[in-house]
Structure 1
């Protein structure tokens, strides 16, 4: 059985403390080096960020905001993602078992998050050809992304993770 160390950062403070993205990214990379080298068990960081955009490798120049919110270029795939108050962010830093490919891992993560939010009465699902977890379209509203997922796999372990829009 694989042991996971869940670290709730700032969530148990009163009021909950918003975490600087750069600090969290540095912490991810530090933990990732240890997990990849086999010096520590897999770790899941759970936190809520100060308002920030992260720009994945496919982000185009015109997609960057100009409202003064910080934008940090990161080493994951995908495009631009907002993080901030009202969003639970999880960074699972784990070694993937033999035979589990990154796309399999993303689908398993999606399924776990779908089951989680269904427990709260939300009819979340996948959308073909798109990553993440989605709420279905309604009479006057299109499909809405409830959970963004962006993963990097390097040196045998994962980085980055998911952002669940709570509010």
Structure 2
């Protein structure tokens, strides 16, 4: 998704409202639905200036979650349950071996959602490249971080984004595939995209890459991006249709 205008905030300036340090909170394995409600409580506290900005680092037990643009044909064919949530995007899977980060960040006013997404993507791209997937980048028209087609494999997503902004505070966030299984993606149309694949750091690098290994570099890169120390660059290697364009929102 190419930004239609310059960002509201200078690229080398913070996008968040506070100058206080961001708290990095490691939560381990957390039930998705319980964490969803906990996120809402934390976001409300942040909107009321009761706490600092937070990066919640965790994993979920295996679960499908459906964003507001999810279509009936996206849903799983294996009979597993789906939680309909209030983030953007379509359906995805979360599970062990996947690092999930929920940035609870009070953003500058006026809120610039495009700039926020681009900064989060930039942080992810830098970490994925530093870990060894040097070709990782963006596909114009699609959010997240992608690895370009190679060795007979199509373009494939290695990190997904889905966000919600309420009262100027970000919720939901990112999921980086570290060493998780990919079998659950075979039973859905991941993110509503049927012309590309899904991958993990471990699959791309040919070695085990744990969630714990990725927490610190992701935390550092996200903080640098939100503060403007890591500026957004053009890492686009392709163009593809937006899987959410023209679709109505499902009510949650």
**TM-score, L = length of structure 1:** 0.91
2:95 is equivalent to residue 84 of structure 1: yes
Between the two structures, name the one with larger relative contact order (CA 8 Å, sep ≥ 6).
Answer: 2
Q: Which has the larger share of strand?
A: 1
Alignment length, in residue pairs?
160
Report the alpha carbon displacement of residue 62 of structure 1 after superposing the two structures with TM: 1.8
* Runs (5+) with no aligned partner, structure 2: 1-18, 180-252
The alignment partner of 1:112 has SS state of helix
The alignment partner of 1:119 has SS state of helix
* Runs (5+) with no aligned partner, structure 1: 11-17
Task: Provide the rounded CA distance (Å) in 1 between the counterparts of 2:128 and 2:110.
Answer: 28
Q: Which has the larger share of helix?
A: 2
* Contact 1:44 1:91 (C-alpha < 8 Å) held by counterparts: yes
Report the alpha carbon displacement of residue 117 of structure 1 after superposing the two structures with TM: 1.1
Structure number, greater radius of gyration? 2
**TM-score, L = length of structure 2:** 0.61
Task: Provide the rounded CA distance (Å) in 2 between the counterparts of 1:69 and 1:161.
Answer: 23
1:110-155 per-residue CA deviation (whole Å, 9 max, x = no partner) reads 0011111111111210111100000111031011101000010111
Match in the other structure for 1:4:
22
1:17-40 per-residue CA deviation (whole Å, 9 max, x = no partner) reads x32101111110110000111111
Among 47, 63, 66, the residue aligned to 2:77: 66
Match in the other structure for 2:145:
133
